[in-house]
Structure 1
Amino acid sequence: MSLDLFPSRTLALYLSRLFITRILGTLVMLVVVLQLLDLLGESGHILAHKGNGEAQLWTYVTLRAPQLMARFLPYSVLLATLFTFFPLNQNSEIIAMRAAGLSAHQILAPMLATAMVVSGVSFVFNETVVTRVTGQLKAWEAVDYGVVQAGSGTRTNVYVADKSNILYAESIADDANGVPHMTHVTWYERDATGIITAKTDSPSASYAKPGWRLAPGTRFDVASASQSATPVQVIAPKVTPAQLEIAKVDGDGLNILQLTHVIGALRASGRPTSELTGKWWHRFSGPLAAMLMPLLGAVAAFGLARSGALLIRAVVGMSLGFAYFVLDNAALAIGNFGGYPPLIAAWAPFFLFLFVGETVLIKTEE
């Protein structure tokens, strides 16, 4: 029996059903509360744009809710683990299972299998839904919840150099013909030492093959401290659309295939890719956090309820789970600064807490 992780089909289904209902209930509760709080904070900014109303508020909710679901799904699994094990232990159901000859791993196996399915669903949901809405929401926020420029491949806050000069665009998107267009453009002219000598602001720019055709705007000359109107002009002849594709990359708004392509393009151009590579690896390790939570929260399942330490065990399980999230975010941040290789930054917290959770489970069983 010790080698059979699912000795009782009825018991496995019972534990899985308890677990999945608590995951869904906890996730819905967290998302609803957090969405309401987030909407209260952002509704003023959304409605401040002329023409926005209730429809735009619902649009924001549809774009923000998937992000909240993806971010707080592992927390929901952790809380669901505690909400499942705490009453089972308190009602002596865990003791009955142990008396029937089940080991701690056999009791935990149905929940781990359920969490593994949740991890798979989370990965697919992140790649098909969350990355898409993240890109749309960031593009909408970049124009202060106004009208997003029509087209595809919208990118925001793009900086690119043309010799010593710098071209900045608040957003870039391709039109129906695939021609790139910029909005809220600033052209910084600099001398050989890197000091800005003039700044030109324009509402838009389009690709002129070569260069970029600026719409009429204003130019500020630093030396004379004077401002003047500018006609239509072509700038940055060395800047191509291909450069803009990799000038500003938002890894959160790209799915795994797009991110792989971008990382390859950046490497080919000799640019650093450690931050994006870390995000690439975390696309796999991140969803697996849901599978780790039952193991970390299992400390609340074992031990006699009458010992008076049941609540303490639940707190310990919650603390282990939240410690994982803290360390996971810290490792990614350190990896982005080059402190860790991307592979280690993405996977080290997972394997560390997998070892910790398994050790605690074995010690608890003894």
Structure 2
Amino acid sequence: MRLLDRYLLRELMVPLLYCLGGFLIFFVSADLMNELPMLQGRGLNGWDIAEYYVFKSPELLPTVLPMGLLLALLYALAQHGKHHELVAIRAAGVSLWRLAAPYLAVGAVASVALFIASEIIGPHAQAATEDVLNRYRNKLEQQTELQWKRDVNFNNDVAGHEWKIGAFGLLTHEMLRVNVTWTGRDNVRRILFANRAGHTNGVWHFTDAELWAYVPPNLDFPLRTRTNLVVFPELDELPRLIKSEIKINTFTLDKMAKKLRFSLAEILDYQRLHPRLTGSKADELNTQFHGRLAAPFTCFVVVLLALPFGAAPGRRNVAIGVAASIGIGFAFFVLSRLSLVLGTGGHVPGWVAGWAPNVIFAAVGIELTRRLR
């Protein structure tokens, strides 16, 4: 790494830390003002609320990290321009794109970090926030409202397995009043009724079960077998697949159009179970998938945007950088939400809705940078 790169990075890191901390405090404070009555109603004290927001911070990073990076870059570039350092660097034969190399590297690292926070840390952090929220709730309430999802219909279109579950344990993965219908390789249609089922050692164990087997050619009179415990290895659906189906089917079209709701793993699991998905559900999930995939690259895009605004010739006031970051952030937010609504409603393809904001703003940044002299 050249001495120039180290200098530019050092001058960026301090404002970046301040901006990230400031935006995080701002968004946490805004959320706290809105959620405080609910948090107090759950009986949480000050330490519990602090713990709650520690676990909730990965959810805020997709907004905080790009905005903090944008403002820090504009500030750092404005400071360099104020002391005519950018002019001196370019006069020494360093191109603007070579000067931007350390900033682009920071944007790439931030994109990777945001992806990890959203896809790996995020799901675990979300579960931890739910645990904190329900720490002081009555155990009976938790069992009836939080630990069990009632009347679950789960279909594996690839294998042809149809599950009807009276109650599914979100934490224990137990099932009550289970009804499974499938046709095996032997062309025998089977219907399994069980009072309870549990997932152990990678397979489902059904207790107090009765099996109806429709063996050709006597399809009107099934063979009935009753047993205390039975295992069917061909019923290989994992509990996380059922939980993904429950989560995705819980959200309505309006809720999906407002923000990104699901991780890539949840969407891929659902699409693997329903490969011939069409209609509004396909539009919703394609938009959510590409939106989630494109979201981390926003950090790289803001570097391309900050470069022409911050490196323009002339001395700039810091307030101009703040105003520019607010304006750019607002425009990006509006375009992102508009794309999400259009994609969710099926008006544009999901990949267009997900990637359009990044592509448009990146193209604008590259073109403006190219025009700089």
Q: Structure 1 length normalisation: TM-score?
A: 0.67
Q: Which amino acid aligns with 1:19?
A: L
Residue of structure 1 in register with 2:169 after alignment: 173
Shift of 1:287: 0.6
Q: Which residue of 1 aligns with 2:29?
A: 36
Matched, 1:47 2:55: no
* Partner in structure 2 of residue 133 of structure 1: 125
Secondary structure of 2:110 counterpart: helix
How far is the alpha carbon of 1:100 from its aligned partner?
A: 0.9
Distance in 2 of aligned mates of 1:52 and 1:314: 36
Distance 1:111 1:75, change over 3 A: same
Of 63, 73, 86, the match for 2:65: 73
| Residue identity matched to 2:174 | V
Report matched runs for 1:340-351 at 5 Å.
Answer: 340-351=348-359
Change in 2 beyond 3 A, CA 1:32/1:158: farther
Aligned to 1:292: 301
Q: After superposition, what is the alpha-carbon deviation per residue over 1:172-211, rounded to whole angstroms, capped at 9, x for unaligned?
A: 63353x31479xxxxxxxxxxxxxxxxxxxxxxxx8469x
Distance 1:100 1:43, change over 3 A: same
Residue 209 to residue 18, structure 1, CA distance change in 2 (3 Å): same
Q: Partners of 1:52 and 1:311 in 2: how far apart?
A: 40
The answer to whether the 8 Å contact 2:174/2:196 transfers is: no
The 8 Å contact of residues 293 and 321 in structure 1, kept in 2 or not, is answered as no
Partner residue in 1 for 2:290:
281
Q: CA RMSD in A?
A: 4.0
- Gaps in structure 2 of 5+ consecutive residues: 155-163, 178-193, 198-236
State the Cα deviation string for residues 78-132 of structure 1 (Å, max 9, x = none). 1111111111111111111111112221221210111111111111121111233
CA deviation string 1:288-320 (max 9, x = no partner): 1101112111223334325x7986577456533
How many residue pairs are counted as aligned between the two chains? Answer: 295
Label 1:353 to 1:70 Cα distance change in 2 as closer, same or farther (>3 A).
Answer: closer
Report how far residue 357 of structure 1 moved. Answer: 0.7
Aligned AA for 1:71?
Answer: T
- Which of 63, 66, 91 aligns to 2:55? It is 63
Identity %: 21
The residue aligned with 2:96 is 104
What are the Cα deviations for residues 50-70 of structure 1, in whole angstroms up to 9, with x where unaligned? x54344323322232222233
| 2:82 corresponding residue in structure 1 | 90
For the residue of structure 2 that corresponds to 1:305, the secondary structure is coil
Task: Report the residue type matching 2:115 in the other structure.
Answer: F
Secondary structure of 2:169's match? strand
Aligned pair in 2 of structure 1 residues 293, 244: CA closer, same or farther (>3 Å)? Answer: closer
Question: Are the equivalent residues in 2 in contact too, given 1:297–1:321 (CA < 8 A)?
Answer: no
C-alpha distance 281-142 of structure 1, shift in aligned 2 (>3 A):
farther
Shift of 1:344: 0.9
What's the counterpart of residue 354 of structure 1? 362
Per the TM alignment, residue 136 of structure 1 is displaced from its structure 2 partner at its CA by: 4.9
Q: Does 1:258 align with 2:250?
A: no
State the match for 1:13 in structure 2.
Answer: 6
In the TM superposition, what whole-angstrom CA distance separates every residue of 1:245-299 from its partner, at most 9, and x where no partner exists? 5244169665433331122224457672322222222232111110111211122
The structure-2 alpha-carbon separation of the partners of 1:54 and 1:140, relative to structure 1 and needing over 3 Å to count, comes to closer
Describe the shift of the 1:108–1:262 C-alpha distance in structure 2 as closer, same or farther (beyond 3 A).
same
Structure 1 residue aligned with 2:347: 339
Paired residue type of 2:364: V
Partner of 2:16: 23
Structure 1 regions of 5+ residues with no counterpart?
Answer: 1-7, 162-166, 183-206, 211-239
Cα drift, residue 15 of structure 1? 1.1
Paired AA for residue 309 in structure 2: A
Q: Which letter maps to 1:126?
A: S
Question: What CA distance in whole angstroms lies between the structure 1 residues aligned with 2:337 and 2:122?
Answer: 19
CA distance in 1, matches of 2:15, 2:150: 41
Say yes or no: does 1:325 pair with 2:321: no
